[in-house]
């Protein structure tokens, strides 16, 4: 199945929570179920509840099912709580790091910036949004996108950069200073249900 290119607000309405932290998604009227009347008569069974929780996380990080399943399998192989390892692996994606630093408004814009080759990790161009950063990595941007980034930053004043990242606005440089923990993820999701879904 190809990547979803339709209206993103429809995804927020489908899962019942805003998957992006922008007014279009967080408006109260947008959280009604999709459809002309927002049909509310259905009651989800156990499978549907777990599926919905999994889709929330997938839509939030903009990953396809095959890629998400591989990440879940990798999280299962790592030591510790599988749900926490899953969130850690998803948070360390390059497109997500660019989004969390407040350089762009959404994960879709971050993905485009990375895919177009505007992002460098430790001085080398990286154009894979799924690239996983490590502690000590420094992320910088091509000079020609600096004006665009500064415009974006002005439009999202008050953005909170997570503690596991160190952002220097003057140089537009992001440094990964720690491994992200599940309580530092600004998205409410029940990872236990997701792990149960893939059993």
d(CA 146, CA 150): 6
Interval 46-81: pLDDT, tens: 898 899 999 999 999 999 999 999 999 999 999 989
Other C-beta atoms lying within 10 Å of the C-beta of residue 140: 17
Q: Enter the pTM of the model.
A: 0.88
Which domains, ranges and CATH numbers included, belong to the chain? 9-89+188-197 (1.10.1050.10), 93-178 (3.10.290.10)
Which stretches of 75-143 are assigned E, i.e. beta strand?
119-121, 124-125, 138-141
d(CA 197, CA 199): 6
Q: What is the DSSP letter of 17?
A: S
Interval 18-54: pLDDT, tens: 888 777 777 766 566 666 665 666 777 889 889 999 9
d(CA 122, CA 77): 28
Split at pLDDT 50, 70, 90, the class of 90 is very high
Q: Which residues pair with 167 in a beta bridge?
A: 174
Task: Specify the range with the lowest mean pLDDT, choosing from 29-43, 79-93, 133-147, 171-185.
Answer: 29-43
């Amino acid at each position: 199945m190809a990547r979803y290119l339709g209206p993103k607000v429809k995804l927020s309405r489908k899962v019942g929570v805003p998957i992006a932290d922008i007014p279009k998604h967080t408006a109260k009227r947008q959280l009604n179920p999709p459809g002309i009347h927002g049909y509310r008569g259905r009651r989800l069974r156990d499978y549907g509840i777990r599926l919905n929780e999994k889709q929330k996380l997938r839509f939030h990080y903009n990953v396809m099912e095959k890629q998400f399943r591989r990440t879940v399998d990798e999280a299962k192989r790592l030591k510790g709580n599988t749900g926490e390892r899953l969130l850690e692996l998803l948070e360390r994606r390059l497109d997500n790091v660019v989004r969390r630093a407040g350089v762009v408004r959404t994960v879709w814009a971050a993905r485009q910036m990375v895919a177009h080759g505007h992002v460098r990790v430790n001085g080398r161009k990286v154009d894979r949004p799924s690239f996983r950063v490590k502690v000590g990595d420094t992320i910088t941007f091509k000079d020609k996108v600096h004006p665009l980034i500064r415009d974006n930053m002005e439009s999202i004043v008050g953005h909170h950069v997570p503690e596991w990242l160190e952002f220097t606005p003057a140089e537009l440089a992001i440094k990964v200073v720690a491994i992200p923990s599940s309580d530092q993820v600004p998205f409410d999701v029940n990872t236990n249900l997701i792990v149960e879904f893939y059993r």
